Structure 1
């Protein structure tokens, strides 16, 4: 029986840990986007830290956690009802960078697509989403999110 080279077992373990972490972060984003699309306002706002900041590519400036995030989702839901359409989000091309302080820096593409009542879906826009995730009570929370237009990233 041949012994493994020194360090191979450790690299394998690190690789498995990172794969598990990556899958955990993917599940976090899948869940977060699903509750956003369902307009579960309070639950979605709860995926952010109490002092989180959300920067969007709009002239209104950054949104602060809590009531600011909840108002943002409620306003979006009202616009969708008036327009007779539904917005959905898809996150992909996820990059996860663990930091020495235990936070995660992530970057991904976010597709926002609209489905008008009785029609097929179409991509409305593509965004780049960069987050700082922190552990809170065993779960990941967004401490900072910066969303930029894909054509300006």
Structure 2
């Protein structure tokens, strides 16, 4: 079950605005890579030991090689089916930890599927909870947990 832990930002409001814009740009780039099937580039937006844990898997997908392999497999399956997938993240809540080099980010994710020649359809809605860390000046996902709205709580 997902819990809300958002608190007021621990940084100056003008600096927080810049930080928030950086996070939005990070997600735009991150999900454009994912939807394009750029597996290695997408996986490189995670830390070396980063993980992705959708609640439908018993264990997290951990490490860039495994993350990239999953994207390649899914992208190839969708291409064979003639389906384009798009991810949209909104209602993004950013809570900086001490020093603002680590962020707790929580947002809603909508995932759309569009079959070639068909109409777009909402495939699922989720809550995405990330821990972002700044590595060499760029944001990377250290931890990602995804909770699907259509799955039972618990």
TM-score, normalising length: structure 1: 0.87
- Aligned partners of 1:128, 1:87: CA distance in 2, in Å? 18
Structure 1 residues 60-93: Cα deviation after superposition (integer angstroms, max 9, x where no partner): 5210111110111011111102221111100100
Match of 1:120 in 2: 119
Does 2:52 match 1:54?
yes
- Equivalent of residue 99 in structure 1, options 93, 97, 100: 97
Match of 1:82 in 2: 80
1:32 match: secondary structure: helix
| Aligned residue-pair number | 141
Larger RCO (CA under 8 A, 6+ residues apart): 2
TM-score, normalising length: structure 2: 0.87
Q: Which moved more, 1:92-101 or 1:13-22?
A: 13-22
- Aligned partners of 1:107, 1:133: CA distance in 2, in Å? 11
Does 2:16 match 1:24?
no
Match of 1:140 in 2: 139
Match of 1:6 in 2: none
Unpaired runs of 5+ in structure 1? 1-12
Structure 1 residues 76-120: Cα deviation after superposition (integer angstroms, max 9, x where no partner): 111102221111100100000000153100000111000001012
The structure 1 segments of at least 4 consecutive aligned residues displaced by more than 4 Å after TM superposition are: none
Q: CA RMSD in A?
A: 1.6
